[in-house]
Structures are given as structure tokens and as C-alpha cells.
Amino acid sequence: MANLKEVVNGEEVTLEIESGVDILEVNKQLARKNMERLREHNVKAIDIMGSIGAGKTSLIEKLVQALKQKYRIAVFKGDLTTTIDAERIGRHGVQVLTINTGRECHLDANVVARAVERISLEDIDLLFIENVGNLICPAEFPLGTEKRVVVVSVTEGPYMVIKHPFTFMTADVMVINKKDLAEIMKIDTEQLKKQVKEIKPDVKVAVTNALSGEGVEELIKALEL
């Protein structure tokens, strides 16, 4: 990597090195490797991120219910400490692997690579990766998935999108969840849609109620599944 320049000043020798090492590139490279490996096995992977309580796990449950006849599904569940969500998803009869991050606020390509080692890719065609409940940190760490979904819910207020422009830039699909509460919360979902399209014109939007399942078909279409 290094381009060296030596400057001698009396007894002092100063070395100037052009480095060019990109610290964020390490994760990006691992993410590309994950993607290659998953593609080799024809596994479509989807990263699902969003705040705590936005409805990520409920949405995955509904997606699993709707799609388990069509695909062989596995779910990676990123969580700081518990396996509560993994048990919830596991009840639907699909393979669930919990990735307890301990203290980390996001998954990265390296922990996903290690989780991939622990499942048999020949036995699945669809992999959902539920990221840690956090709308900021995961955005900087691509995992190597085909698509990234960002889930917001109307109870998080009207400024979720414009307060996190960099996060929505990385989204392929945005879900606006808890649509049944939109009126009570006085949230205009059309306005949220308009804002996200301004930041990321090619993003697809699904408006859902993950408890009743309303809008899940729309999400499946947006994910091209």
C-alpha cells in the first residue's frame, strides 16, 4: 500500500507514508464476500433494520407465515442479550439463529459470515436477518444482503425519515408499520412516503399493520418474493 518519502534533517529521519487504508472498507469487503457466498447457494438474504418496537419481529413472523410454503427460510436474529424474539419466530417452524451481540449496537459483515458458517445453505433459499433495534449504527455496516428493509412505525413520530436521511439512503424498501394507529397519532403516512422518496427516489414503500397482517402482501411484492 505504502508510497514512501524519506526526509533527512540533520540526524532526524522523517518518513512520510501514503497509506490509503480505508477502515470502513474492511466491513464492505466482508459484506461482498457474504453476498457472493449466499448467491452461490441461490440464497436471497434480506436485512431488516429499525428502532426497538418498530415491529421488525412481528413483520418477520408474518413474512415467514406467508412465505414458508414457497421458500425454505432461515432467520438470523440480532439481539443484545435475549432469545425472546428467536423463540417467537421459531414457533413458525423455521430455522432461527440468534446472534447475541452482547453490547454491540449493530450486526456487521463479520458476525454474519460466522453465522452463515453455522447453517446449511443447501437447505435454505431465503434468509431474513433482523438487525439490532437501532436506526443509526447498522446503516454504516452493510451485511452482504440483496436488500435492506428499514422499518419505521407511526408511533415514532412524524420526523423519523428526515432525521435519519443517511439511513434511508441505504434502504431498498421502507415499511411504515402500525398503520392502524396513524390516525390516533396524527401521522400522515403519505407525507412520510413523500419524504423518503425525496431522499431515495427508487425506494419501495409498504404500509403495514404487522399484527393483523395488513399490507404484508404489499411488502412481499416490494421485496420481489
Partner 1 sequence: MHELSMTTQIIDSVLEEAKKQDAKKVTEVHLVIGKLTFLGIEQVRFSYKILVEDTIMKGSKLIIEEQDGTIECPSCGYKGAIPFADDPAYHVPIPTLRCPKCGKAAKIIEGNECTIRSIRMLK
Residue numbers at the binding site for partner 1 (CB under 8 A): 2, 6, 12-26, 105, 136-137, 139-140, 162, 165-166, 169, 195, 198-202
| Least distance from partner 1 to the Cβ atom of residue 138, Å | 10
Judge contact between 177 and 55, C-beta under 8 A.
yes
Query: Measured between alpha carbons, how far is 25 from 108 in angstroms, rounded to an integer?
Result: 12
| Least distance from partner 1 to the Cβ atom of residue 169, Å | 6
Query: Measured between alpha carbons, how far is 69 from 84 in angstroms, rounded to an integer?
Result: 24
Q: What Cα–Cα distance (Å) separates residue 98 from each residue in 67, 76, 103, 131, 187?
A: 21, 6, 14, 11, 34
| Least distance from partner 1 to the Cβ atom of residue 166, Å | 6
Residue 100 pairs in a beta bridge with 79
| Least distance from partner 1 to the Cβ atom of residue 147, Å | 15
Judge contact between 46 and 145, C-beta under 8 A.
yes
Per DSSP, 185 falls in state: T
Residue number with CB closer to partner 1 (62 or 200):
200
| Least distance from partner 1 to the Cβ atom of residue 165, Å | 5
Residue number with CB closer to partner 1 (124 or 149):
149
Residue number with CB closer to partner 1 (91 or 163):
163
Query: Measured between alpha carbons, how far is 123 from 45 in angstroms, rounded to an integer?
Result: 14
Residue number with CB closer to partner 1 (2 or 84):
2
Residue number with CB closer to partner 1 (22 or 190):
22
